[in-house]
Amino acid sequence: MLLGVGTIRDASITVFVAGVTVMPALAVDNWPLPYEERLATRPSAAIDLVVIHCTELPDMRMAREFGERIHYASPQTGNSGHYYIDLEGHVFRFVADTRVANHTFGYNSRSIGIELVNIGRYPYWGDSRHQAFTVPYTQAQIDSLRTLLAQLRNDHMNLHWVAGHEDLDRRLEPASDDPRIRLRRRQDPGPLFPWPQVLQDSGLQRLSPPAEPSR
């Protein structure tokens, strides 16, 4: 099959949680990255964690371009999440759950990465004067995220944890405008992400390892 051209809409799936709660149907557009088949495979049982990200880019087109970029020479792969949720709540799958995507340093082999389109600090990621996240997530995004999390819980029996990228990667780097200032490289999904709403009835617990000494 030709990869990276067009999208395929999966059949809608209704999710039943604990036989009681019926979540709305979730439609996922399958849109595999050109290098998806070069990413390592893993069994479903290896997945125990979901990591929430935001793209820190203005739209899905730029997020796709970023995901398609080759960063690693051998094999030829790049950085991306598994799922992307746009501002209207549409869900796209760039990488199958049973492939290891490069999205969170040190946690890739056990986790699924979900990226929410949100402008974040764009285009001043490394600038100490522009570190605030100012644009809220849309309710459509959060509704789709909750449905997707229920679906993933249904699909992967060991999935019990959820974390923000900011919880798991606390590395610092010099600010682009003043190298004496050291900034957190990863701050997504940031202070505007509605954790209580997302965690409620999700069956997932937030994983927040203790901070390591700054490097």
Contacting positions for Zn ion (CB under 5 A): 53, 165, 188
Minimum CB separation of residue 53 from Zn ion in Å reads 3
* Cβ proximity to Zn ion, 167 vs 188, nearer residue: 188
Q: Which is nearer to Zn ion, 28 or 52 (CB)?
A: 52
Place of tokens 């992400």: 193
Name which of 121, 82, 126 is nearest 100 in CA terms.
82
CB 91 within 8 Å of CB 26 = yes
- Of 53 and 153, CB closest to Zn ion: 53
For residue 57, the minimal CB distance to Zn ion (Å) is 11
- Nearer of residues 146 and 165 to Zn ion, judged by Cβ: 165
Considering only CA atoms, which of 54, 40, 39, 49 is closest in space to residue 3? Answer: 39
What whole-number distance in Å separates Cα of residue 14 and Cα of residue 47?
Answer: 22
Distance of alpha carbon 179 from alpha carbon 71, whole angstroms: 25
Rounded to the nearest whole angstrom, what is the least distance from the CB of residue 89 to Zn ion in the complex?
19
* Least distance between Zn ion and beta carbon 165 (Å): 3
